[in-house]
Every structure is written in structure tokens, then in C-alpha cells.
Structure 1
Amino acid sequence: MRRKDDGRGWFCTVVSMLVLDMNSKNILLAIFFFLVGAALLVPAALGEAEGEEEENPAPIAPEKVDELVAFVQSAVAFAQEKGREAALEEFSKKNGSFVRGELYIYAYDFNGTNIAHPFKPDWIGESKINETDSNGVLYIRNLVNAARPGYGFTYFIFPNPADGGRDEFKIGYAMKVDDGWWLGSGLYLPEVSASFDQEERDGLVAYVEEAKSFALANGREGGLAVYNDPSGSFTRDGRYIFAYDYDGVTLALPHQPELLGSSRIEASDPIGVRFIREAIETASLGRGYIYYIYPDSSRGMRPALKLSYVSDVDGSWFLGSGIYAEVPV
């Protein structure tokens, strides 16, 4: 990063010149400039350091995410070397080599059937494709979809075995072993508040379904014109309606009009969650919830964890809205 000119150059030059010509008068002048310069430069240096810290907000340290990815990659390499059966046996051991504190490996096929889990042995052999977390998010389906192209991230709430089985927000990472199965693991983030009560979720669903009914009654273009108006009837109580087609093209986004008409199919949040793809997959089922980190227009576009509800309109496009966690990430 280019360092700003904060006046340190002229200060050092003046003091150096005075010191070279060392008489009593210049000594006093040198001391004077030193004290004035220190008073000016120390706050500037502190301000620069604070500015650098603010430029790089992150919900979790990048090295922790790298550690998660490396852990799953090592498990995939183990499975490819030892073979499926031997690997699944190892991954299912509660005290096995792939259980390291909060990090552990689980395995599924691409139909969502669990085939290894060290802390959920009763799940093995069962389909969990429609399993939801406490906010109604279809997290196993999201993990399957993340792994299908090779690897990917998603979020969900799940019991943390390293914290007494307490439900905690989690970053999940899934990676394909081959076309038949995949492995996953995750990082728990107990400091992230992801609790959205039933009343909040019910209000969100009612709001989105109201917007859908409006579109069906007034047509797609009539609906989009209202959703894209920041002062329109569907921009209220800190909420707004977004809309996309199934190719990921932006149809409505009132606080980011510059994105209208652009494809966001590969858009990802700061962790790497491909949230538009998750929204498309969820809406294609009819309706559902997803998590992602996104700028909050009610907080000056500061990124925050968002629980969104999406609903298909007519098979060619969908709309949705979200509620943000109380504390920005």
C-alpha cells in the first residue's frame, strides 16, 4: 500500500539542518521543532494504523479458513490412497485421526445419504437431503451442491461436539472425492449470532409472499418497477425485495441499481459462499432459506450475516428478501 505524505520528511530535514549548525540558538530551535513534530506525527501514525485495520474487516482469520480447506484436502487424499471402505471406517471413529477438536470429517453420497460421521453414528446409511437447521436452512442439500462442481463453502447451525454439543453457527466446506461421494468439515463460530426467532422468520416469509402475489397480479415488469424503487411500497422497515432469473441475471436490487441486468451467477461472499447459486438451487425447489454475508443498506452497507427467504414466481424467475443478524461481521 502506498504510504501517505504525513509531513515526516520536512520535519526530519529541518531538524537535521539545525543540528548540523550547532549553536545555542539552533539547539533551542531543534528542540522546538522536535516537540512540535512529535505532537503532529504520533497521532498521524496512529490514525494510519487504525485506517489500515478498518480497510480489512473479516468475519474469520483467513488462516483459519486455509486450515479448514487443508484438513478436508488431506482427508480426500487419504480416501483416494486407502480406498473408500477403509477411509469411511476411519472417518467414523470418534477418536480417529480425522477428529481434531472442532474439526472432524463427515461423508455423504450425492443423493444426500450419510456414509460416515464420528458424532452421528445413527445417521449412517440414512438420507439427510431434506435435513434443516434451526432456521429452516436445507444445509445438507447446500453442502451437496457446493461439492458437486468440486468444492465449496456454505453456512449452517449444528451441534459443536467440542463445546458440549451446543448449537453454533458453522462455516462448512465440502469437497468431491469422486463422482460418487464427497467429504466435509467445518469451523464453528460461537461469537456469530445467527438466531432468528420464529416471529422474525414468519414476518419475512409473509413479506416475500406478498411481493410474489403483487408480481403475479401486476405482471413481471409491473412488479420489478416497484421493487427497484428505493421509495416504493416494498422498500420498508429496513427490508427490500431482490429478484433474479435462473441464469443469475439481476432483475431487482433497489440499493445497488448498477448491478441490474448483470449476471451474478458466480457472486460469492467474503468467505467464498456462492450465494446466488444457493438462491437459485433453493428457489428451484419452490421456496426456502439461505445464509450469506452481504452489505446491509440500513447500516451504511456494512457487511452482515443475512438469512434470506427466496420464492419461485413462475419458473423463470424468483424473488426474495432477508433479515440481518444484530451484529455486523
Structure 2
Amino acid sequence: MNRWLPGCVAGLCLVLLLSAGCVSPAEDDTPSPGTIRAFVEDARSYAESIGKEAALSEFQKTDGRFTRDGWYIYAYDTDMILLAHPYEQASVGTNRSGWTDIRGLPVIRIGRDSAAEGGGYVAYLYPRAGESGIDEKARETYEPKIGYVAPAGEGWWIGSGMPLADLAGPGEGEYPAPVRMMVDLVHAGTAYARAEGPDAARAAISDRAGPFIDSSGHYLYAYQYDGTLVAHPYLPELIGTNLIGRRDPYGMENIRALAETAEAGGG
């Protein structure tokens, strides 16, 4: 029998996390995605008032007004040439269109396209800024982050990000409650499969009225490790189809990445 892996839709989790707010990271013990958006919008207003070159000079500083407590602003032009980054100064002036995180996500391309649409949130993996800066070659330092990008003027855009773990409030553990709900749902699915068997689990996962669609809109799906979809409440027509080579608009083979992550122990 082929092994299979359950998963939970992650996109909905980010939607649940989004909120509005206009506080700086220094003013809020538990920041939110709205905090990072307000931080970027503040930097955009600053650039509009002081001008592009002066703003880039400020964003570049490790001790500037927008670089503090692990928070910072980076800037790119629409050709994805890095214009400013306080912790990647050696890369300023280089084209980063081909840069990906350790899972292969083309973060800069996605950021450019999101900014071109007026701005938006981006989820990715990246090292946390520390006292010694950031080492993009240190794969073990990458962690989930949520960022926000926005146009800053004609031909350029800015962004910032925060570790997902920093969104957790007191008593919430490693991740904030909406993410924990998603993780718990996956664990519930695997426990159900062990107790009831894979056939019963696949049927329950595919049931829109079943136990694996929660009140917040999270739901489970399941694949075999070879990429064959075996359970999904909203894509019944694709059950039995091998999707291992399916690519998203950025060329990412997401099902392959999910299988590799699950086979490595989950994440």
C-alpha cells in the first residue's frame, strides 16, 4: 500500500491572520500582520515626502529610523534590482529576480508582482535578522515569515517581513492561534487515519460535512508520496490524479515540495 500524507490548506490561515493597525513594532508587545503593513506604509509615506534617494539612503542604514528590533525595510526596482537592504548591502545593485528561499519560492518575483497590483502580503522563508546580520547561505536559520510589499514610487517598491512565530501571543506557544488550529487539524487527521485506517480517513477528509472542515474554513487534503491526490473535499474530480509535476504561475512544483516536506518529518 502506498503511503499518503494529509495536509491542511494554508492560504486560508493567512487570511485569518490579516488585520488592520497602525502601531510600530516598538509599541505593541504582540505584533500582527497589520503591524507589518503599517510599518511598510509608514516607510512609503516617508519616501514620498523625502524623495527616493534620501529614503533609500535611510533604508540602507543598520541604525536608521526603519531598522530596529529586527525590523527593516528593503527596496527593489521593478526589474528586481536590489536598491536598499541594511543586512544585504553587498547585494545592492544586483539583479535578484532568480533568488528563491530554501523551498524554491521566487520571493522577489512574487513581491514585485504583488507591489505592482497595489501591495499585499507574502509568505516565505527567510533568516531572522540578528546582531551579526543575516546570512542567506545558512539554510538552518530560515524560518516562516509573513511580509508586506507596496509600491514606493515610479519604478520601485519596498517591503518588510516578520517571523511568523512573533505573531504568537502569551500562552499561544510557538505559533499564533490560527496557525495552531491548522496544525492541530493535520494532527487530528493523522490520528484518525491510524485509528480508523486509511480508507476511512480518505472518505472523512473528502466529506464536506465531515470532521476535517472546521468552523474557520480550514480543511484537510491527502496525497500519496508519489503526488497522487487521494482525498480532497473540494476537488473530487482530481482524486486519483498524479499532480507531482503541477506547477503554479511561478513555476513552483508545490505538490512535490509538500511531499518532500512531509517525508522529511513535516513542517
Common topology (TM > 0.5) = yes
Check 1:76–1:259 CA distance in 2 against 1; reply closer, same or farther (3 A cut). Answer: farther
Instruction: Describe the superposition over 1:162-202 as per-residue Cα deviations: whole angstroms up to 9, x where unpaired.
Output: 3764322211211011340000000113546xxxxxxxxxx
Name the residue aligned to 1:137. 105
Is 2:190 the counterpart of 1:187?
A: no
Which structure has more relative contact order (CA 8 Å, sep 6+)? It is 2
CA distance in 2, matches of 1:327, 1:187: 22
Correspondence 1:282 to 2:250: yes
Q: Say yes or no: does 1:170 pair with 2:145.
A: yes
Q: Is the 8 Å Cα contact of residues 103 and 257 (structure 2) preserved in structure 1?
A: no
Q: Name the Cα RMSD after superposition.
A: 3.4
Distance in structure 2 (CA, Å) of the matches to 1:257 and 1:189: 29
Q: Is the 8 A contact 1:108 1:116 kept in 2?
A: yes
Matches of 2:41 and 2:154 in 1, distance apart? 16
Matches of 2:79 and 2:99, distance apart in 1: 12
Structure with a larger share of its residues in strand: 1
Matched, 1:81 2:17: no
Measured in 2, the distance between the counterparts of 1:179 and 1:148 equals: 10
Task: List aligned pairs for 1:39-118, cutoff 5 A.
Answer: 62=19, 64-118=32-86
1:256 corresponds to 2:229 = no
Q: 1:163 to 1:89 in 2, by over 3 A?
A: closer
Structure 2: gaps (5+ residues): 1-12, 20-30, 135-140, 166-173, 176-205, 207-221, 239-246
Amino acid in structure 2 at the alignment position of 1:169: P
Once residues 153 and 18 of structure 2 are traced to their aligned partners in structure 1, the CA distance between those partners, rounded to angstroms, is 30
- What letter corresponds to residue 59 of structure 2 in structure 1? F
Please state how far the C-alpha of 1:135 moved relative to its aligned partner. Answer: 1.6
> What is the match of residue 322 of structure 1?
258
- Corresponding residue number in structure 1 for 2:224: 236
Structure-2 separation of matches of 1:177 and 1:91:
12
1:132 offset after TM fit, Å?
1.3
Query: Which runs of 5 or more residues in structure 1 are unaligned?
Result: 1-56, 193-229, 243-252, 261-278, 290-307, 310-319
Paired residue total: 173
**Letter in structure 1 aligned against 2:39:** F
Aligned residues with identical type, % of pairs:
29
- Taking the aligned partners of 1:235 and 1:161, their CA distance within structure 2 comes to 36
What is the rounded CA distance, in whole Å, between the counterparts of 2:114 and 2:35 in structure 1? 18
Q: Contact 1:102–1:188 (CA<8 Å) still a contact in 2?
A: no
TM-score, scaled relative to structure 1: 0.45
Report if aligned partners of 2:107, 2:124 keep a CA contact under 8 Å in 1: yes
CA contact (8 A) 1:101 1:162 kept: no
> Aligned partners of 1:157 and 1:235: how far apart in 2?
23
